[in-house]
Amino acid sequence: MLTDRRRLLQAGAASGAFFAMAGPGRALAASPADDALEALLQRHTEAFLRRSPEEATGNGFDTGANLFLRSRLDDRSLSAMAGDKAAVKQALAELRAIPATGLSPRAALDRDVALYVYETLDRLLGFYGYADMNLRPSPYVVSQMNGAYYWLPDFIGGRHPITDAADADAWFDRLGALAVALDQESERILHDAAIGVVPPDFVIAKTIAQVKGLRDRPPLESALIAPALKKLVLLGREGDAQKALAIFNQRVAPALTRQIEALEAIAPKATSTAGVWDLPDGDAYYASAVQANTTTDIDPGDLHKLGLDQCASLIAQIDTLLKAEGMSQGTVGERIAALNVDPRFKVSDDDAGREKLLELARGYITDITARLPQAYGIATVDPIVVRRIPPAIEAGAPGAFYTEGAEGEPGIYSLNLQHPGEHSLWRLPTLTHHEAVPGHHFQYSVLRHAPSLPLFRRVVRFSAYTEGYALYAQQVAAELGVFDGQPFNRIGELQSQLFRAARIVVDTGLHHERWTKDQAIAWMVENAGEQPLATEREVTRYAVYPGQACSFKVGATRIVDAREAARKTMGPRFDVCKFHDLILTSGPMPMAVLEKAVAQWAGGAT
């Protein structure tokens, strides 16, 4: 799971991707229409980054004439949301004014991607809640997995650049601005509750606990302040710790208290219903969320059936492998559950166990990195750090996630080590391949170094592409032989695929089939062999990010289908290294655009 793409969308117009249809290293002559489209998308992207200082920092845009952005945070107010909606409509009108006729094949695909982004944003911003730059909507402004209190501590404390006195001053401005961001979201919590949008009671309870955790933990030891103080020390500054503590105590902590009070005020209105069908226009909201997350037009009911079919196929494969290892009694779910508690695959539930998991993960990254040239033409991997998820947010965080590093900083693969015993060793290799290499970290490493990538192509993101590729990357790791002679690790890879297929079933179950939270947890535990505690956390996640859990398996399936279709078309000319380089250097795109582009590449289109 990639987290850097989940910053709130507070922009006027998101950008379109610029797909190098001719493939890496090949250039096409641009027509006047192509130039007009490129200039429009560039202008839109720059306008977006000026409206989103957080994205500006993440994309290295807060320099020169835009240095002022470095001291600011995104505007999360109700008035800013209204401005966003108007700006997206204007951007859409401007894009439609450039006809597809007259564009080169490459530019036509750019327009397809941009049109998809703008139309999706126009639709999503017509609902409550928010949508991030991954086009991933959430009906709730603040929850156990989103909100300023959740995302900004790591951004402010760890990702804000501090190289000189001006950066340090900007950091203090941002630290104080956190209070404003919190209050803006608290206002929206109350506003949305007044129109009937209230998170489930179990979400509110977890969220309040986490907001209190940020408020009540020693501030100077938190992710919000501690990493930045280390950088400030290198500048030889004195008194910065006390200044930061004063800002936190006088401004941030009271704002956190006000947010807790806002959540407590709406708690009496909350129910235990996890599905968005219970919200205003909930069925339409979910259909829109599924479309945005999967970048397909599949109906939620059909998607539910697809998930069930994929689960049945994967269960049969796992059954065969388990029987080969002498495990034939009980359902596949029961046998996987037995593996989860098998002492052979457990670490101690203490700091020694935590360090063991971190060291193993680092070893898996080293091993797969050496194998990459067998499947990728571009095989350079940027530096990556393997660390524990900050304890303050572990209770509501997933089992692991990846965060793209700021400019000049390593990427971060974070493991949830609140309970080390949850990470069975037969699962850890595949988790690492998904989040790190050849998954998310490698994905971003290649894109960062790809030549001639316009700014807007670096900004736009799609869950089905980013998460779908990372899930597909697990399969690539298996194809590269990392599981040869390690049957339980191979079972772990298939179980990970089963887990993602089960996510489709459970997500659509909650939001379309109207399952209860307990039904969803039971189905996942019984059919995918997931552990109850981790599954409860997962299902709570699905409740606040409807449709996003479906993006993984849908995206991976579409990438595999595109690869095999190209292989069939090209025959002996097919080169998997070139295929991978094509989809990675092209940047994120909707699945339909990816399939069209791969088909044109396979057919020799120029």
Q: pLDDT for 326-367, tens place per residue?
A: 999 999 999 999 998 999 999 999 999 999 999 999 999 999
Distance in angstroms (rounded) separating the CA atoms of residues 598 and 586: 11
Pairing of strands 384-388, 411-415: parallel
The ranges assigned to domains in the chain are 8-137+294-345+455-606, 140-278
**Predicted local confidence at residue 1, as pLDDT:** 65
Tokens representing 142 are 């603040």
**Predicted local confidence at residue 2, as pLDDT:** 60
**Predicted local confidence at residue 453, as pLDDT:** 63
Query: Comparing 141-155, 239-253, 387-401, which segment has the lowest mean pLDDT?
Result: 387-401
Three-class SS of residue 443? helix
Distance in angstroms (rounded) separating the CA atoms of residues 500 and 97: 40
**Predicted local confidence at residue 30, as pLDDT:** 66
Distance in angstroms (rounded) separating the CA atoms of residues 90 and 360: 50
**Predicted local confidence at residue 451, as pLDDT:** 63
Better-scored residue on pLDDT, 572 or 398: 572
Beta bridge partners of 131: 137
Which residues are CB-contacts of 499 (< 8 A; sequence separation ≥ 6)? 528, 530
**Strand locations in 376-417 (E):** 384-388, 400-403, 411-415
Dihedral sign computed on CA atoms, order 18, 21, 24, 28? negative
Beta bridge partners of 146: 143
**Predicted local confidence at residue 6, as pLDDT:** 33
Tokens representing 113 are 């991607």
Quick check: 293 pLDDT over 50?
yes
Confidence at 240, pLDDT banded by 50, 70, 90:
very high
How many other CB atoms are there within 10 angstroms of residue 434's CB atom? 28
Distance in angstroms (rounded) separating the CA atoms of residues 121 and 209: 32
532 prior amide bond cis, ω within 30: no
Distance in angstroms (rounded) separating the CA atoms of residues 593 and 111: 10
**Cα 584 versus chain centre, distance:** 17
Confidence at 8, pLDDT banded by 50, 70, 90:
very low
Better-scored residue on pLDDT, 284 or 450: 284
Confidence at 246, pLDDT banded by 50, 70, 90:
very high
Side by side, the strands of the sheet bearing 384-388 are: 384-388, 411-415, 400-403
Three-class SS of residue 400? strand
Query: What pTM was estimated for this model as a whole?
Result: 0.86
Percent of the chain residues past pLDDT 70, beyond the cut: 94
**Predicted local confidence at residue 449, as pLDDT:** 81
Tokens representing 386 are 């393997």
Distance in angstroms (rounded) separating the CA atoms of residues 593 and 596: 5
What is the four-CA torsion angle of 163, 166, 168, 171, rounded to 10 degrees?
-110
**Predicted local confidence at residue 372, as pLDDT:** 98
The letter for the amino acid at 89 is K
Percent of the chain residues past pLDDT 90, beyond the cut: 80
**Predicted local confidence at residue 172, as pLDDT:** 98
Quick check: 122 pLDDT over 90?
yes
Span 465-475, average pLDDT = 96
**Predicted local confidence at residue 452, as pLDDT:** 64
Quick check: 43 pLDDT over 50?
yes
How many other CB atoms are there within 10 angstroms of residue 280's CB atom? 14
Alpha helices in 377-531 (DSSP H): 428-435, 440-449, 455-459, 463-479, 487-511, 517-528
Which residues are CB-contacts of 561 (< 8 A; sequence separation ≥ 6)? 595
Three-class SS of residue 213? helix
**Predicted local confidence at residue 29, as pLDDT:** 52
Query: Comparing 141-155, 328-342, 400-414, 535-549, which segment has the lowest mean pLDDT?
Result: 400-414
Tokens representing 167 are 């950066």
Q: pLDDT for 529-568, tens place per residue?
A: 888 888 999 999 999 999 999 999 999 999 999 999 999 9
Confidence at 461, pLDDT banded by 50, 70, 90:
confident
Q: pLDDT for 431-457, tens place per residue?
A: 999 999 999 999 999 988 876 667 777
Q: pLDDT for 97-117, tens place per residue?
A: 999 999 987 788 889 889 999
Three-class SS of residue 414? strand
Better-scored residue on pLDDT, 604 or 523: 523
Alpha helices in 295-380 (DSSP H): 300-324, 332-340, 351-371
Which residue is it, tokens 């993101």? Answer: 461
Under 8 Å between Cβ of 151 and 6: yes
